[in-house]
Every structure is written in C-alpha cells, then in structure tokens.
C-alpha cells in the first residue's frame, strides 16, 4: 500500500495497456490499472463512493465500472446507456448518476437503476456535468454556451407530487440559467461550499466567468487573448488556474478584485504563467497541500508543477492524448484483495416508466452493526449480566410498588379530608337554616 495521502488518476486516448491508471505523485510509479473499458470519454472519469471507479467509453454507449481492487470491470452486469455519452457526474456518496447524452440529461438512482428523469433544456450537446460537494445540486454546461444549475430533489421528484409544478418529463425549471458565453463551455469548477460558493466557467470565447451561486449573479469576467480549455481552484480558493488551447496555464489571484466586473488579463506582464505543454491543456487539478499543480494535455504529458516557483517537478508520459487527470485521496480499497462494497449497483434503465402501477422494492444489505442489545464476551459475562438485570428489575419493582402504596395513602387521605369538609359545610348550612326558621317563628 502506498504511503501517500493522495494519488493521481489518469486516462488517455490510447487504450493499449489500460483504460485508467492510478499513480503515486511522489515517485511517478503506477499503483493500479483498470482495463477493458476502451477509450474513456473526456471528463467522465469518476468515483462511485469509496468502492468503484466509473468511466464512459468514447465510441460506445456503455458505462464501465471497476471495483477499486480489480483490474477487470464488474462481472455479471452491463451498464448500457440510451446513447453515446458526452458528460458524466456521480454524487460523492454514489447514490445518483447523471449523464449527458446529446442535448439531454439523464438521471439515475444507483441502487435501483431507476431512470428518474430526462431533462431537455439545452439546445446543443451537453459537455459538462458536475455535482456540488453536498450532492444537493448539479451544474450542466453545453456547446450552446449555456450553464444551468439544477436542484436534485426537484428534478428527481415524481410529477404527481403537488409541490412540484411539472406537467411532463423533462420540463424542469433550473435554479439558475447563465447564458453569458457566446461559444461552447469547455470546463468549469465549483467551490467546496456548493450553492453558498462560486461557480467558475471557461469557454472557447476566451473568457473565464465567476458566478455567485447564492444570488445567481456574475461577479467577474476575465477576458484572455486565447481560447480557454480548462480551469481549477487551489485549496483555499484564493487563486484560479486557467489552461489555454495553446498549452499555457495562467494563474489569476482572486484576493485583489478589479474595480470593474470585466477585466482584460494581460498574460505577458502581470499574470504568472506555467509554460511547458505544446498543445491544449485538457485537465487541471491542485493537490491537497496546495503546493502541487497537475496539468494534462493533448501532447501526451501529465506534468506536476511546484506552484510557488512555477517549475515542473515531475513528468508522466502517456501513449495518447490525456483525457482525464486529477488528484484524489488514496482509497484503501485499491490495495485490498477482498473488500465488501457499501454501494449497491444495478443495471441502468433506458426508458422512463413513471406512470406504471408496479412498485419497485429494493432490498438493501448493510454491514453496519446496530448496537441494540448489550454485547457479551462469554457465558459467564452473559449470566452475570442477566443476574444484575434481575436484581435491578426487582429493585425497580419494589420502588414502584412503594410509590404506588404511597400514592394510594395520599389519595385516601385526600378523599377522607374532602368528605369531612363536605359534611361540615352541610351541617353548617343546616344550622343556619334552623336559626332563620326560629327567628321567623318568634317574629310572627
């Protein structure tokens, strides 16, 4: 097992040796390879919980899923999609899967395979899908330049629910619609705080736009002199790294906001630049310690940069254009020969069957032990515990009986006192009445 706290995961367009590979960032050695998935589509590599790795094949409508400790895909199950997929996103807990197929967005529940909804609001092919860290929202971007923010609970609800004003499948209303880009969106990233943070998008129209997801307004528009292809934030979200179609990576500080919303970035003078790649930068990612920047390109190189000095410290050569590359935590399941996955997989449905009378029953197995009864280490401890329980029960029973007897005595005393008072009041009233009668007889 690697001693690193984080690893690299990459995919390239050449699937001669493997589809995906896990690397040690400190030594550059391969830790694990995943085979049999063909060529992975760009930006579709994702983890399903802590147990599986998933990627969409570029030439076929197939989703390939590998157990983290196995070179081969999941056996006995195939995940066929309704069409060739261009974007994929999975919630952090692995509960939901979203896929962009042409201009539509398909949403599945992982454990049952149910197709929850089909969203049809984009006008061109969906190229990017990302969930917020809490999994409550997801963002879609397409070649039409539009970026939409969706609420998972709203789009996955049944149309008969009164709280959701929805007449047919696919006619959902997004939380926000951003249509500021004039050309296809090429990449985006979301703050760790989700809808309380910011959304960063880059496009072929040479702009990088920063949105406030709390209010849905654009905060900043960075204009570059070349088309942009990728973007990443550092750990503290104080700097943004923008990859260009020419192979350069520009660093822009977010701590000194400009006076105007639109800012023309002069990359030659006041913009730190990482220069090495000879082709478009496809992926950017920052390590957990904030010291290392990962960049991948069409030039078949993955480079690790030292951010303060902007110098390359390691180069990992691939056999094809790198389509997916990012830092991730070092999952223990990668190095285990046997492990019990906590995520339940099911074949994905290809059509909507929302109005059928059949109810899908899901039998869920968990490996969590519920501590309801006291644990025992042996028969002696069990007998000791039973004796103690009996003694405790007898003491409680005696205390309850004593309390009941005390309450009975108090009630009896209260009853006798109330009867005595009632009798006294009656006798007093009779005496008064007799005195009045005697007084009347004397007067008469």
Task: Write the pLDDT tens digit of every residue in 75-117.
Answer: 888 899 999 999 999 999 999 999 999 999 999 999 888 899 9
List the structure tokens of 34: 């995943």
The mean pLDDT value for 359-371 works out to 53
Sign of the alpha-carbon torsion through 279, 283, 288, 290: positive
* β strands within 213-247, DSSP E: 217-223, 228-233, 239-244
Terminal CA-to-CA distance of the chain, rounded, Å? 120
Task: Work out the percent of the chain whose per-residue pLDDT is above 90.
Answer: 56
Contacts of 353 (CB under 8 A, 6+ apart): 115
Contacts of 357 (CB under 8 A, 6+ apart): none
- Between the CA of residue 401 and those of 318, 395, 415, what are the distances in Å? 81, 10, 21
Concatenating the DSSP letter of every residue in 107-128 gives EEETTT--EEEEE---SS-EEE
For residue 264, pLDDT beyond 60: yes
Q: In the prediction, which pLDDT does 17 show? A: 86
- What average pLDDT does the chain have? 86
pTM of this structure:
0.77
Where is pLDDT greater, at 150 or 267?
150
Q: In the prediction, which pLDDT does 258 show? A: 80
The mean pLDDT value for 56-78 works out to 91
CB 56 within 8 A of CB 41: yes
List the structure tokens of 266: 């002069």
CA pair distance 376, 387, nearest whole angstrom: 14
Rounded to a whole number of angstroms, the CA Rg of the chain reads 35
Q: In the prediction, which pLDDT does 353 show? A: 60
SS3 443: helix
CA pair distance 235, 237, nearest whole angstrom: 5
List the structure tokens of 205: 């129209």
Three-state secondary structure readout of 258-317: CCCCEEECCCCCCCCEEECCCCCEEEEEECCCCCEEEEEECCCEEEEEECCCCEEEEEEE
Sign of the alpha-carbon torsion through 34, 36, 42, 46: negative
For residue 325, pLDDT beyond 80: yes
List the structure tokens of 6: 């984080």
Q: In the prediction, which pLDDT does 3 show? A: 65
């Amino acid at each position: 097992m690697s001693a690193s706290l984080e690893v690299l995961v990459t995919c390239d367009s050449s699937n001669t040796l493997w589809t995906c590979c896990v690397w040690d960032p400190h030594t550059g050695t391969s830790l694990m390879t995943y085979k049999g998935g063909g060529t992975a589509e760009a930006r579709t590599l994702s983890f399903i919980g802590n147990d599986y790795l998933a990627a969409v094949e570029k030439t076929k409508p197939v989703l390939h899923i590998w157990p983290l400790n196995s070179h081969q895909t999941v056996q006995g199950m195939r995940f066929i999609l309704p069409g060739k997929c261009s974007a994929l996103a999975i919630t952090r807990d692995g509960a939901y899967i979203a896929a962009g197929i042409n201009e539509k967005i398909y949403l599945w529940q992982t454990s049952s395979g149910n197709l929850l909804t089909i969203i049809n609001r984009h006008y061109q092919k969906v190229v990017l899908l990302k969930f917020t860290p809490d999994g409550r929202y997801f963002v879609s971007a397409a070649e039409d330049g539009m970026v939409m923010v969706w609420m998972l609970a709203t789009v996955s609800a049944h149309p008969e629910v009164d709280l959701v004003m929805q007449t047919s499948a696919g006619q959902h209303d997004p939380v926000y619609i951003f249509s500021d880009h004039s050309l296809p969106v090429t990449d985006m990233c979301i703050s760790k705080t989700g809808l309380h943070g910011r959304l960063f998008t880059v496009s072929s129209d040479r702009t990088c736009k920063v949105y406030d997801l709390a209010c849905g307004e654009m905060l900043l528009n960075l204009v570059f002199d070349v088309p942009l292809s990728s973007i990443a934030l550092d750990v503290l979200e104080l700097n943004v790294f923008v990859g260009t179609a020419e192979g350069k990576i520009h660093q822009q500080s977010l701590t000194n906001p400009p006076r105007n919303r639109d800012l023309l970035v002069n990359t030659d003078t006041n913009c730190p630049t990482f220069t090495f790649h000879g082709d478009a930068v496809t992926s950017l990612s920052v390590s957990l310690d904030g010291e290392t920047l990962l960049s991948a390109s069409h030039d078949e190189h993955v480079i690790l940069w030292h951010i303060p000095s902007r110098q390359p410290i390691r180069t990992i050569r691939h056999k094809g254009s790198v389509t997916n590359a990012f830092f991730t935590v070092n999952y223990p399941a990668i190095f285990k020969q046997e492990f019990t996955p906590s995520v339940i997989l099911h074949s994905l449905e290809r059509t909507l069957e929302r109005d059928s009378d059949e109810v899908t029953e899901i039998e869920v197995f968990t490996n969590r032990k519920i501590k309801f009864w006291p644990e025992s280490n042996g028969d002696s401890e069990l007998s000791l515990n039973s004796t103690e329980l009996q003694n405790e029960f007898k003491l409680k029973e005696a205390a309850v009986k004593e309390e009941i007897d005390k309450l009975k005595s108090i009630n009896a005393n209260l009853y006798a006192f109330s009867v005595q008072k009632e009798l006294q009041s009656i006798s007093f009233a009779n005496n008064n009445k007799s005195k009045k009668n005697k007084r009347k007889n004397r007067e008469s």
